[in-house]
């Protein structure tokens, strides 16, 4: 069974910065179809903007390659509902995407921005928790 998920930007950044880390493995699961990844236009814009931040010192070929992998693997959805459940306004876009896609999970390395374990049937999990679910 393929798990449906939305990855927070911090998962993508961590995958780019540490190719052998857990977030990179989670991205690989999306690329190989073990996980059905969902994105929205706003999420793709955020991924791209954050990857370009000077503090990460990622080269353009690395960013382009990573974004290509994501856009090929992910299903693009266009959320129709605006949410304000998260105290961090931009994190609501991930909930909106998950809700529109019917995804079961939002995977984030920053659970404090999602101060609830679940939102309308969407479970908020850390990378380690999601990896555990994938291996059950």
pTM of the model: 0.96
Task: Determine the pLDDT at residue 111.
Answer: 85
Residue 98 Rama label (left phi>0; alpha psi -120 to 50; beta): alpha
Per-residue burial over 48-84, b = 16 or more CB atoms within 10 Å of its CB, e = otherwise: bebbeeeeeebeeeebeebbeebeebbeebebeeebe
Which token pair is 120?
């309308």
Over residues 51-77, the pLDDT tens digits come to: 999 999 999 999 999 999 999 999 999
Q: Which CATH superfamily is domain 3-135 in?
A: 5'-nuclease (3.40.50.1010)
Count of CA atoms in the C-beta half-sphere (13 A) of 15: 28
Give tens-digit pLDDT for 101-123. Answer: 999 999 999 888 888 899 999 99
Q: What is the pLDDT of residues 74-98, one digit of tens each?
A: 999 999 999 988 888 999 999 999 9
Two tokens, residue 44: 């793709």
How many CB atoms are located within 10 Å of the residue 134 CB? 14
């Amino acid at each position: 069974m393929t798990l449906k998920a939305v990855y927070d930007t911090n998962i993508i950044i961590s995958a780019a910065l540490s190719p052998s880390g857990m977030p990179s493995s989670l991205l690989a699961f999306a690329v190989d179809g073990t996980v059905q990844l969902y994105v929205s236009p706003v999420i793709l814009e955020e991924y791209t903007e954050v990857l370009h931040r000077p503090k990460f010192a990622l080269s353009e070929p690395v960013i382009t390659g990573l974004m290509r992998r994501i856009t090929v693997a992910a299903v693009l959805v266009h959320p129709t509902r605006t949410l304000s459940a998260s105290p961090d306004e931009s994190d609501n876009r991930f909930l909106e995407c998950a809700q529109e896609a019917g995804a079961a999970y939002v995977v984030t390395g920053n659970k404090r921005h999602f101060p609830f374990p679940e939102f309308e049937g969407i479970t908020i999990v850390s990378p380690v928790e999601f990896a555990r679910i994938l291996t059950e």
